[in-house]
Amino acid sequence: MIDIFINNLPILIVTVPLMMSLFVVLVTNSYLSFLLTLATTFITFLIAILLYQEVQSYSSISYALGNWLPPLGIEYIIDHVSIIPIIIISGIGFLATLFAYKIMPSELSDSSISKTYGLWLLAISGLIGLVTTGDAFNLFVFLEISSLASVALVAMGAKQDRQALIAAYNYLIIGAVGATFYVIGVGLIYAITGTLNLADITSKLALMEDNRALIAGFGFMVVGIMVKAAVFPLHIWLPRAYAYAPSAVSILLAATATKASLYILARILFSVFLPSENIVSFTLTYIILPLSVFAMFGGTIMAIYEKDIKRLLAHSSIAQIGYITLAFSIGTKSSVAAGFIHMSNHALIKGGLFMAITSISYYIQKRVTIENLSGLGKAMPITFCCFIICSLSLAGLPLTAGFISKLYLIKSAISSEGLWLSFMILFSSALSLIYLWKMIETLWLSPLNKKDIKIKEKPVIYSSLLLITFLNIYFGLDASLIVNSSFNASNLLLGINK
Amino acid sequence: MITSAMGIWNYWIVFILMMIGLFIVIGRKNLLKKIVGLTIFQTSVFLLYITLGKITGGTAPILTENSSTIYSNPLPHVLILTAIVVGVATTALALALVVRINSIYGSIEEDDISAHDLIDYHDQNNTLKKSILQNSK
Amino acid sequence: MISIENYILLTIISPLLVCILTPFLSNNIFLRDTIGPVGGVFSSWGAIEITRSVLNGEQPTIEIFEIAEGLTISFNISPLGAIFGIVASFLWVFAAIYSVGYMRGKKEKNQTRFFAFYAAAIHAALCIAYSGNLLTLFIFYEILTFSTYPLITHKQDEVAKKSGRIYMTILVGSSILFLLPAIIWVWVTTGTLEMSQNGILSGKLDPKYAPYLLMMFVFGIGKAALIPLHSWLPAAMVAPTPVSALLHAVAVVKAGVFTMLIILTNVFGIQYLADTGSSKWLIGLACITLISTSIIAIYKDDLKARLAYSTISQLSYITLGGALASSYAAQGAALHIVTHAAGKITLFFVAGAIYVGANISKISELNGQGKSMPFIFLAFFIASLSIIGVPPMGGSWSKLFLMMGAVESDYLFVIIVLCISTIMNVYYLMEIPARAFFTKKIKNIDVKIPNLMIIPTMITCLFTIILFFYIEPFKNLTLLMVGK
């Protein structure tokens, strides 16, 4: 019995939230639906941890869906690489659900809560499916499952602010175009290789010269995924979607959604198209590298001039995605590892920041802008402390998780590309301190509004915030877990030759 | 020259449809027309896949006693069946959103909507202007 | 028998404990105000024991934990670190007593928060002093910056906000932009973050890159207040005087120059610097800072601002000593950390005492006040003599060694610069006691200085004299530092 369970873990992690999402929609009681969602995300997280342990001993688990053996059947692969986003998605999914307990009812009407939780689980299952699958077309299906669910979730914010609808619409259209691009790419690659299994594509590509269909297919696939991953300048859907979604949804999406796509991007660049080294290295050096630098500065500068805090954080996400793609674009083992380190750390940081801002808006009952933050540090010390720690982590200051990722990123930049790139990284992270400090300064030094004095922080709200902040510090002090798994991932991804 | 161009006739159609669709998505300001564009764009991809699967002189892939029959590749058809489903879901969601937008903003023209949003964004605390706007609706 | 590792922990953890305990004692004001000095005594005890073992030729090491492979938080006491550690922990005792007097005298708000962050800053400074590798150094360097921010913005008004902004921009900005990549550059080229007595770069880094690496370090260490990066120090003077006294005359700025010196001696190595000549430009920069800030100090009427510029100028003595790359100069620089700390903390104590007792912060208003507070001005006079470098004050030793160092490495113009600066020192420091004692009183003020402020001032003033006669242990430490 247990054997069956263990053997089917790779599919269970996708199907458990998928099936439960259908069930949760039918539950009318909002409290019950919350409990079910919490239980489901918890189970998902447990499965993820079990899988992590499996991966440590077997290094790669291949699961043939419906016993149709790959390359003909659909294959689910869990290895050192894909386990990282799986842990991120399921872990943050659980934390965000825990946090959503009080937040959801404050922003949504009672009748729509269970539907939201249904979509919530659907999004999580789509994202996990996205990273587990080893089949190019199945990947597209999961891409659409997750993004359609996310779009609907964003649109749920319409009760708070009608702009959520526009945000959702733009997200949908741009996302659909991106996904279609990806499908075109898959079609072209299928035409020349005759297979859809990602590993099989690699082995078929190794046998052929670079040709136009391959280049076009590669281009379409990469661009499609870049849209989903919000790589500059294909990020325009992101700030609005994150800013106007219901707060709990913002946390989930900001911490997980782009990470899955970034993982796919890394997989396509380094693993699937490994044989066509020329095209990949050209793309990395001349396209992704400059775009990442633009993203780093563009996102940061946009954030400096932004007054609405949720939008501000969304802009900063674009800059942070820039760091990750920059790490990929350097293309050495240590830099790709740095990218994965930052991927997990950024999920913790952004999750924490969005949670802090959400709790503030919950207490003051308003949209959070810079002016509204005035003096709130005194009224809510715990939230404020967590906010400061997560901010410092974002800026990459010592003893936080963010420092570790910056450290490895700069180290890999210096050892392969030289100093100029590391100056770019550091300059933009110094700039990011400007907008973070603007918020901290207002929270700490400006006078407190009279009606905010009575605010009392509730343990239900700050417990998960404290937890994620603790993780930020913990992984800053004991980074070996993240660092080692990221290096395992990059070793597996880049193979022995680099 | 012409024959070779005509030989890939289907691909020309795919290409033209794709560009038309993409252009509508990017160029039109009407939210509904964008959806139409998106559908055309997606359909062009369906056609691309079907074309890939077609083999000259091939029949439908049905197993008969005559095992030497040439038949078209069935896999792209199956894939496109899935893609159509995804496309339908996308369109449905998009249409639902447009209906909501129309009922809240009273318009589905992008320019009108962004004008409303700009006012919202810059006068977040100015409730007066909002109420005037809502009354005038 | 307490092992030496435990003494290290004692020194470092006492201020941390004070920081943690203070918020819990906010209801019991007496206890809250006592644990500061008590913590200081424990911390100094540890520091003295550590110094003893260093003098015996040991190099105590303790590893706290490993962040990831190759990244450890560890403490390893170098002779220079022992000097800085003893200065910071010893002066903390008196500064803690003094700050109690000041905060009570001024009836400041949020005293609990103030004392907590005060101890936190000392903790960070001590950790910098004892840091065993560049990572630990950098981490606590940043913590020091962040823990002083609440102290600088203590008044929470617009001026504080603005100064806090300048402070953070310069210190955090420079350290992120230059110090961090410089450290990582060292890590990439040498493969280690551990520092060693004779430097770790020789043979690893191509000498033609050395000036650039040094430049990144120099501009990364904003706390050393070299000229383009000096403006945070005058800005930080909005903080209550105990902060200016301990942190911006001793802990923070000395952490800066300490970092600078340890980088010059234990990362580059004096020999490497002398062979490659990569620190030549730094001598020029230090001289420019030295002279120009002395000139600015002359024109400042605000007492604390004048002292701030004087501090900047004195700090560049230390940088200069490192940059001269000779053993005498390095010794002089290390000794200057001690003697300047004792002198400058006394001067700031006096400034604070005058501000609390007579509510005067401008030099021009000091006319004739000498009779109403004779001891205070006497202390100022003596400490000024030490800063100027007149025997029998401690300050004369460090200037002597610096000049010998300049001769040793053949930079005679440096001696001229030092002389000019000394003359300017006389000019801008002596003006204050001169006005107080030899001019007519403008207005009558009731002077009430709390004893808790007078006593620490007198003691630190005494130190400046004692240091002249009791420089031996420090000199031996500096000899160990340069490896003789």
Q: pLDDT (tens digit, 0 to 9) for every residue of chain C, 484 residues total?
A: 678 888 888 888 898 988 888 888 888 888 888 888 899 999 999 999 889 888 888 888 888 888 887 788 888 888 889 999 999 988 888 888 888 888 888 777 788 888 888 899 999 999 999 988 899 999 999 999 988 888 888 887 888 888 888 888 899 889 988 999 999 989 888 888 888 888 888 878 888 888 888 999 999 998 888 888 888 888 888 888 888 887 777 788 899 999 998 998 888 888 888 888 888 888 999 999 989 999 999 998 888 889 899 999 999 999 998 888 888 888 999 999 999 998 999 999 888 888 888 888 888 888 888 788 888 888 999 999 998 888 788 888 888 899 998 988 888 888 899 899 999 989 898 888 888 888 887 777 777 788 888 888 999 998 888 888 888 888 888 888 887 6
Residue B68 has pLDDT above 80, yes or no: no
**Which residues of chain C approach chain A closer than 8 Å at the C-beta?**
65-69, 71, 138-139, 142-143, 146, 153, 156, 160-161, 164-165, 168, 172-173, 176-177, 180-181, 184-185, 187-188
Q: Kindly report the average pLDDT of chain B as a whole number.
A: 82
User: What are the chain B neighbours of A155 within 8 Å (beta carbons)?
Assistant: 97, 100
Q: Kindly report the average pLDDT of chain A as a whole number.
A: 88
User: What are the chain C neighbours of A399 within 8 Å (beta carbons)?
Assistant: 139, 143
Residue C301 distance to chain A (closest CA, Å): 29
Q: Is C299 exposed, middle or buried (0-12, 13-18, 19+ CB in 10 A)?
A: exposed
Residue B13 distance to chain A (closest CA, Å): 15
Residue A244 distance to chain C (closest CA, Å): 31
Residue to mutate among A382, A394, A411, A425, with most C CBs inside 10 A, is A411
ipTM: 0.88
Domain ranges of chain C: 4-481
- Encode C371-405: b = buried (16+ Cβ within 10 Å), e = exposed: ebbeebbbbbbbbbbbbbbbeebbbbbbbbbbbbb
Task: Compute the average pLDDT of residues A405-421.
Answer: 85
Chain A residue nearest residue B53, CA to CA:
A191
**Residue A113 Ramachandran class (φ > 0 left, ψ -120 to 50 alpha, else beta):** alpha
User: What are the chain A neighbours of C138 within 8 Å (beta carbons)?
Assistant: 398
Residue to mutate among B86, B99, B110, B133, with most A CBs inside 10 A, is B86
Residues C135/C183, Cβ–Cβ less than 8 Å:
yes
User: What are the chain A neighbours of C112 within 8 Å (beta carbons)?
Assistant: none
Residue B72 has pLDDT above 50, yes or no: yes
User: What are the chain A neighbours of B31 within 8 Å (beta carbons)?
Assistant: 169
Which among C69, C161, C177 has CB closest to A427? Answer: C177
A169 touches chain B (CB under 8 A): yes
Residue A312 has pLDDT above 60, yes or no: yes
Which among C143, C161, C176 has CB closest to A430? Answer: C176
- pLDDT tier for residue B38 given thresholds of 50, 70 and 90: very high
Q: How far apart are CA A196 and CA A202, in angstroms?
A: 10
A213 touches chain B (CB under 8 A): no
* pLDDT tens, position by position, A116-135: 999 999 999 999 999 999 88
User: What are the chain B neighbours of A165 within 8 Å (beta carbons)?
Assistant: 97, 100-101, 104-105
Residue B99 has pLDDT above 90, yes or no: yes
Residue B128 distance to chain A (closest CA, Å): 17
- pLDDT tier for residue B3 given thresholds of 50, 70 and 90: low
* pLDDT tens, position by position, C27-62: 888 888 888 889 999 999 999 988 988 888 888 888
Residue to mutate among A384, A445, A487, with most C CBs inside 10 A, is A445
User: What are the chain A neighbours of C146 within 8 Å (beta carbons)?
Assistant: 392, 397
Task: Walk me through the domains of chain B, giving residue ranges and CATH numbers.
Answer: 2-105 (1.10.287)
C and A: touch, per 3+ CB pairs < 8 A?
yes
3 state SS of A308: strand
Chain A residue nearest residue B120, CA to CA:
A163
User: What are the chain A neighbours of B124 within 8 Å (beta carbons)?
Assistant: 367, 369
User: What are the chain A neighbours of C184 within 8 Å (beta carbons)?
Assistant: 407, 410-411, 414, 422
User: What are the chain A neighbours of C160 within 8 Å (beta carbons)?
Assistant: 445
Domain ranges of chain A: 299-498
Against chain A, the chains showing at least 3 CB pairs within 8 Å are B, C
* pLDDT tens, position by position, A350-386: 999 999 999 888 888 888 888 888 888 888 888 889 9
**pLDDT at A174 (0 to 100):** 92
Chain B residue nearest residue A186, CA to CA:
B49
CB within 8 Å of chain A, chain B residues 44-63:
45, 48-49, 52
Angle of CA points A426, A427, A433, to nearest 5°: 90
**pLDDT at A498 (0 to 100):** 45
Angle of CA points A284, A290, A291, to nearest 5°: 90
Residue to mutate among A156, A170, A183, A227, with most B CBs inside 10 A, is A183
Q: Rounded to the nearest 10 degrees, how much is the dihedral formed by the CA atoms of C295, C298, C302, C307?
A: 70
- pLDDT tier for residue B4 given thresholds of 50, 70 and 90: low
Residue B35 has pLDDT above 90, yes or no: yes
- A&B contacts, CB < 8 Å: 78
User: What are the chain B neighbours of A196 within 8 Å (beta carbons)?
Assistant: 75, 79
Against chain C, the chains showing at least 3 CB pairs within 8 Å are A
Which among B86, B93, B101 has CB closest to A152? Answer: B93
Chain A residue nearest residue C73, CA to CA:
A477
Higher pLDDT, A23 or B119: A23
User: What are the chain A neighbours of C181 within 8 Å (beta carbons)?
Assistant: 410, 414, 419, 422-423, 426
Whether A430 and C173 lie within 8 Å, measured CB to CB: yes
Which among C69, C142, C161 has CB closest to A445? Answer: C161
Residue A432 has pLDDT above 80, yes or no: yes
Residue A131 distance to chain C (closest CA, Å): 27
